[in-house]
Amino acid sequence: MSGSQDFTGRVAVITGGAGGIGGATAIVLARRGARVLLVDRDRGALERAATRVATEADAAGRVGVFVADVTDEAQVRAYVEHAREELGGIDAFYNNAGIEGAVAHITEYPTEVFDQVIAVNVRGVFLGLKHVLPGMIARGRGAVVNTASIAAATGLAGSAAYGAAKHAVVGLTKMAVADLKDSGVRVNAVLPGMIDTRMLRALVEQLVGDVDEGLAAVAGAAPLGRVGTPFEVAEVVAFLLSDAASYVTGAEYLVEGGALATLDNGG
């Protein structure tokens, strides 16, 4: 392992930590020495994820959990304070929590679902930045990765809320970089494509009905001919959070198997 991707002695906080990409990223970072705090709403799912991380990364004693709703400012403040008081601060922040919402034509999209998706995927990212960044600024160092999506780079039919939210995540990433001039803190975005997660399976079930049939169909959208794995996203996130990416900030990293080169957006 390159020393520039060594996280020994560093604290990483991951929201959406009970999910596929969040959990995979926790394993990658823990394998490289990080102490990891997983944040999510479901305590049971969090504890299962923490057990998996501790086992697969041989990281017993270096994985913690914190139950929080990323849309609630008091709860966001609470997980940040916990990391500062109990772990010594946050060196790496994966601002990852998100939900998929519905698949529907924009004229028929349920307003209450739109509001929920925006709350989690945009407000949650904003609140994470708002409360994590001050500690990093004070220390003069730190790295953040926000999870956007391939939906932030194109228009995807039926995804008004999700697509709008992920475009906003890219915007927040760039605004944060502008506000962080000369701070020593870096902020980047990762844009996953068709990654085999619960979220993708829920989306293809809405679109196609049969999950296996849907996964086979979306696999064909990428020139690599398959869906990606959570660990393939996690490796990119780990790079962006590491010293190996010391001159990378404000970037949008696609992890989508080349799908944008051939994507039919339904237009």
Active site residue ranges: 162
Nearest to 241 by CA among 94, 60, 49: 94
Give the list of residues 6+ apart from residue 171 with CB closer than 8 angstroms, or none: none
DSSP label of 49: H
Residue with tokens 């999950």: 211
Radius of gyration from C-alpha coordinates of the chain: 18
* Euclidean distance between CA atoms 231 and 247, whole angstroms: 23
CB contact at 8 A, 92 and 12: yes
* Euclidean distance between CA atoms 114 and 128, whole angstroms: 20
Q: Tokens for 174?
A: 């760039």
Residue with tokens 């039926």: 158
* Euclidean distance between CA atoms 74 and 133, whole angstroms: 16
Give the list of residues 6+ apart from residue 5 with CB closer than 8 angstroms, or none: 32, 238, 239, 242, 243, 244
Beta bridge partners of 13: 37, 93
